[in-house]
Amino acid sequence: MKKYIVTGGAGFIGSNLVDVLIERGDEVHIIDNLSGGFEENLNPKAIFHKADIRNIEEIKPLFAGIDGVFHFAALPRVQYSIENPIETNEVNINGTQNILIAAQLAGVKRVVYSASSAAYGNQSTMPLIETMLPQPLSPYGMQKYVGEHICRIWSEIYGIETVSLRYFNVYGPRQSSEGAYALVIARFLKQKKEGQKMTITGDGLQTRDFTHVRDVVRANILAMESDKVGKGEIMNIGGGEQHSVLEIAQMIGGEYEFIAPRIEPRHTLADTTVAKNLIGWEPKEDFVKGVEELKV
Ligand SMILES: NC(=O)c1ccc[n+]([C@@H]2O[C@H](COP(=O)([O-])OP(=O)(O)OC[C@H]3O[C@@H](n4cnc5c(N)ncnc54)[C@H](O)[C@@H]3O)[C@@H](O)[C@H]2O)c1
């Protein structure tokens, strides 16, 4: 049995990981301010600390005796970061630095950081490989990219083990369907359920590499446990297939309309060789089945 902190454990991906850790018999401490997460996502067997990662003095004592930290807490929306660059900077960059400081001071062995494919921005070739020069297109993409450097630097200078996982569009149970910035699959399912037309941004031919949350959870556990990593390594965690936004609307079925495009990369597709080599991870979930599961 290990003692873990899961920041953002009331959110979509974090809460899915918490359930698996609790199922294994680990002791789990959730740090979340419930700004984007939900009380109903909180596993009742986890210990919940309602706290803000921007406040280092508030969170520091929670790290005593912890073996590892899974850091999910963030303001994870591109559009929101464009409208609120200061607030998102404080949470996504300063908050991440606070987590590394608090973990290192408490002698925590390893932090697994939720990075993002948003770091890549537009690249001229696919698939996206970790050695490409990141070109983030938004404050969010830039902030998540800075978080990777914080992790690496904290490993190099202060000796705490870190790993950064760059997720590609995560979908699955508990994905957020609220608000204007919900991710595409959740938004389409909600619009269909409410009898509205699905709104496709731009021409809908932009493609995404969708990754099932169960695959992301498995990657986190492997990254925490693998003895080949811990020095700030960065690796893609993606489904490895491209699907266009239009194709998803057609898979879900029903009426759709086109709305103004957003500032977003045209395509994403993960090369996952590094994750396979370093932590033995490959995507396992089938996309069509994964979306079908969410329809019911
Ligand atoms: N969902 C995706 O497709 C995706 C893709 C790439 C990377 N990521 C990263 O994965 C992580 C989790 O994303 P998610 O989709 O589960 O998001 P989410 O919004 O569902 O979860 C984030 C959680 O962080 C909490 N939080 C926000 N600010 C906080 C603060 N100041 N203090 C404490 N808690 C705070 C929220 O309340 C929420 O529960 C994020 O770091 C995100 O950048 C997600």
User: From residue 19, how far is each of 115, 146, 192, 273 by CA, in Å?
Assistant: 21, 29, 29, 28
Separation between Cα atoms, residue 256 and residue 244, nearest integer Å: 14
Predicted local distance difference test score (pLDDT) of residue 182: 58
Other CB atoms within 10 A of residue 29 CB: 20
- DSSP 8-state class, residue 240: S
pLDDT at 179: 54
pLDDT for 178 equals 66
Q: Rounded to whole angstroms, how far apart are CA atoms 258 and 214? A: 31
Architecture of domain 3-169+211-237+270-284: 3-Layer(aba) Sandwich (3.40)
Catalytic site positions: 140
If you measure from the C-alpha of residue 12 to the centroid of ligand 1, how many angstroms do you get, rounded to a whole number? 7
DSSP state of 3: E
Alpha helices in the chain (DSSP H): 12-24, 56-59, 78-83, 85-89, 95-105, 139-158, 184-193, 213-225, 245-252, 273-279, 287-295
Structure tokens at 295: 């329809």
Nearest CA to 46 among 60, 32, 64?
32
Amino acid 296: pLDDT: 73
Ligand 1: does its nearest atom lie under 6 Å from the Cβ of 35? Answer: yes
Contact predicate 206/126, CB 8 Å = no
Buried b (16+ CB within 10 A) or exposed e, 55-92: ebebbeebbeebbbbbbbbbbbbbebbeebeeebbbbb
Q: Could you tell me if the CB of 238 is within 6 A of ligand 1?
A: no
Read off φ and ψ for residue 30, nearest 5 degrees.
Answer: -100, 130
Q: Please state the domain extents for the chain.
A: 3-169+211-237+270-284
Cα of 229 from ligand 1 centre, angstroms? 23
Residue 215 neighbours by CB under 8 Å, 6+ apart: 237, 239, 281, 283, 284, 285
Distance 11 CA to ligand 1 centre (A): 6
For the Cβ of 36 lying below 6 angstroms from any atom of ligand 1, the answer is yes
Per-residue model confidence as pLDDT tens digits over 147-185: 999 999 999 999 999 999 999 999 999 998 765 445 899
pLDDT tens digits for the chain (296 residues)? 999 999 999 999 999 999 999 999 999 999 999 999 999 999 999 999 999 999 999 999 999 999 999 999 999 999 899 999 999 999 999 999 999 999 999 999 999 999 999 999 989 999 999 999 999 999 999 999 999 999 999 999 999 999 999 999 999 999 987 654 458 999 999 999 999 999 999 999 999 999 999 999 999 999 999 999 999 999 999 999 999 999 999 999 999 999 999 888 888 999 999 999 999 999 999 999 999 999 87
